Amino acid sequence: MDPENQVELEPLALGPVTIVAAAGVALLLLEAGRYGYHRDELYFLACAKRLAWGFVDQPPLTPAIARISQAVAPGSLVALRVIPALIYGSLVILAALSARELGSGRTGQIGASVCAAAAPGLLLAGHLLSTTTPDLLVWAIVTFLSIRLLRTKDVRLWLAIGLAIGIGLENKWSIGFLVIGLLIGLLLTPQRRSLLTPWFAGGVLVALVLWAPNLWWQYQHGWPQIALFRSLGANSHDVGSTIAWIPFQFLITGPVGAAVWVAGLYRLLRQPEARTYRAIGLAYVVLAVVLAIAAGDKQYYVAGLYVPLWGAGGRPLEGWLARHRTGLARPIALVGLALTTVFLLPAALPVLPESSLASVKGLNPELAEQVGWPDLVAQVAGAWRSIPDAERADAAIFTSNYGEAGAIDRFGPSLGLPNAYSGHNNYWWWGPPPATTQSLVAVGFDDRASLESMFGIVRRVGTITNPWNVENQERGLPIWIVSDPKQSWQDLWSHVRHYD
């Protein structure tokens, strides 16, 4: 056993770390009700009403979280965002736990937790319900357990790692990237011997058993998630996205937090005292290179690895603070952390009024996707009421994407609207309108020729707007009334499916 592994761990700085995590969670809950639902959250609510072992674009865990939140407080946006906020708090604590496992004392643990708490990427993930939020937690848990396994050589931990991976696979398949990265890291280091145990095989089996229901659903439906990956992959790798990938990492973690994780990465890769954990650093390097090239527009894919890297940076941070007990270095670092956190906060959380988003285009597109949905539904309701009563009995609402459909399903009933239909992702699998449908309110389609190829009558009746003129995916798109379908709905439905 390495001498480092024989050193007793420092006590956990539980009090200060809990305060840091609780402060961040409190901030998220205070901001949870501002703006409105994100388009993905509206989609998850729709999926939650139709829970299954799989969907086109994700396994069932995140929709299940939406189902639980709505069971507790139906129709509550704040309730929908409580679990993401608690996951964020868990990430803050896991950063401190990782720092402790990697030899940090009280100061390093607190420093790692502060870096995690102040990271814009983690704040954004904690604000919204998305598949990314539980995914970050799974990445952090798997790497923490891996670090503990490498330190203690307790190979029974492979079962716990397999359990975490299996749960992660029921949320988002991207946990597979971490698995591949860690395996490469282990195979490139002497720690590869930790794989040569029945416990590793047991962990693999646990993960596969937990993943099996989702795989069966995918098989039964023709592997739509793989078709989705192909569609996304066609637009995910270009030179511009690859070049921008690294700067985005510093935005995800914040500049001061970046200094700590870079120090942690250097420690794992180059410092002899941390050689036991080199596989974690190698996993980051491998995934950073591969994902920057192959999925440059998915900059957040490795965000879960910053939790253990902050943990690895806790010890260098302690050393730096010890060397700068006097002078201006400490105050400058603290002021820098405070200023950069405040400066970047509007890019992560809805702290600015909605009206300001129109004048700060590009601040964060995810913020713009949280405004205007009730207004969109009200405009659709106006179009719906313009259909003569006699025709409305054989009418339906058809949208170009799941955000619009989810908004109509969420806000439409109070305005007398039926549920929406869409060819986008899993909405397509929920089926077409009734065979007797003759008229549609078609929402968000910007290609008139495509509608005219399917319907004999196409009439534009409106344009989607929002009160703040915020530029998002819906603003400026048309609202149509179409009728006289040229084919049966069974034939039409085979042409409208699209995955992205």
Residue 353 domain flag: no
Give the domain-ending residue among 315, 348, 381.
348
- At 290, list the tokens: 């591969």
pLDDT tens figures, 437-450: 999 999 999 999 99
pLDDT above 60 for 1: no
pLDDT at 411 over 90: yes
Do 17 and 109 meet the contact criterion of CB atoms below 8 Å apart? Answer: yes
Q: What is the mean pLDDT of residues 312-338?
A: 86
295 shares its domain with 431:
no
Residue 8: is its pLDDT beyond 90? no
Mean pLDDT of 147-151: 97
- Specify if 356 maps to a domain: no
Is position 333 within any domain?
A: yes
Domain total in the chain: 2
416 near 381, Cβ under 8 Å? Answer: yes
Q: Quote the CA–CA distance of 139 and 445 in Å, as a whole number.
A: 38
Amino acid at 372: G
Question: Does residue 449 share a domain with residue 341?
Answer: no
The whole-number pLDDT of residue 2 equals 45
Residues 225 and 180 in one domain: yes
Residues 169 and 228 in one domain: yes
In a domain, 311, yes or no: yes
Q: In terms of residue numbers, what domain contains 438?
A: 373-496
Rounded to a whole number, what is the largest CA-CA distance in the chain?
A: 83
Average pLDDT over residues 300-321: 93
* Residue 435: Cβ-neighbour burial (10 angstroms; 0-12, 13-18, 19+): exposed
- Does 365 reside within a domain? no
Picking from 314, 348, 382, the residue at the C-terminal end of a domain is 348
pLDDT of 294 > 90? The answer is: no
368 lies in some domain: no
Domain match, 101 and 175 both: yes
Confidence at residue 242, expressed as pLDDT on a 0 to 100 scale: 77
CA distance 265 to 44: 36
Task: Answer yes or no: do 78 and 180 share one domain.
Answer: yes
Per-residue model confidence (pLDDT) at position 347:
86
Instruction: Give the pTM.
Output: 0.93
Q: Within 10 A of 67 (CB to CB), how many other CB atoms are there? A: 17
Q: State mean pLDDT over 345-367.
A: 83
pLDDT of 431 strictly over 60: yes
Query: In this structure, are strands 395-399 and 420-422 parallel, antiparallel, or unpaired?
Result: parallel
In a shared domain, residues 403 and 337:
no
Q: Are 278 and 269 in contact (CB under 8 A)?
A: yes
pLDDT in tens, 12-61: 999 999 999 999 999 999 999 999 999 999 999 999 999 999 999 999 99
Residue 326 confidence (pLDDT): 77
Residue range 316-336: mean pLDDT, rounded: 84
Ranges 136-150, 349-363, 417-431: which has the least confidence: 349-363
Burial of 463 (0-12, 13-18, 19+ CB in 10 A): exposed
Residues 386, 245, single domain; the answer is no
For the stretch 99-108, pLDDT in tens is 999 999 999 9
Name 247's Cβ contacts closer than 8 Å, sequence gap at least 6.
none
Q: How far, in Å, CA of 60 to CA of 171, rounded?
A: 6
Q: Are residues 325 and 380 in the same domain?
A: no
Residue 98: inside a domain: yes
Q: What helix, strand, coil percent values describe the chain, rounded to 5?
A: 65, 5, 25
Interval 204-243: pLDDT, tens: 999 999 999 999 999 999 999 988 888 776 665 567 777 8
Percent of the chain's residues with pLDDT above 70: 96
Q: Which residues contact 128 (CB under 8 A, 6 or more apart)?
A: 38, 40, 41, 81, 84, 366
Whole-number pLDDT of residue 5: 46
Domain co-membership, 344 together with 400: no
My answer on whether 303 and 401 are in the same domain is: no
- Final residue belonging to a domain, choices 331, 348, 365: 348
| Average pLDDT in the chain | 92
Quickly list DSSP for 34-86. SS---HHHHHHHHHHHT--S--SSS-SHHHHHHHHHHHHSTT-HHHHTHHHHH
pLDDT tens track for 244-260: 788 889 889 999 999 99
Could you list the beta-strand ranges (E) of 92-237: none
pLDDT at 3 over 60: no
- Evaluate if residue 407 carries a pLDDT over 60: yes
Average pLDDT value for residue range 118-137: 96
Residue 322 sits in the same domain as residue 392: no
Please report whether residue 360 resides in a domain: no
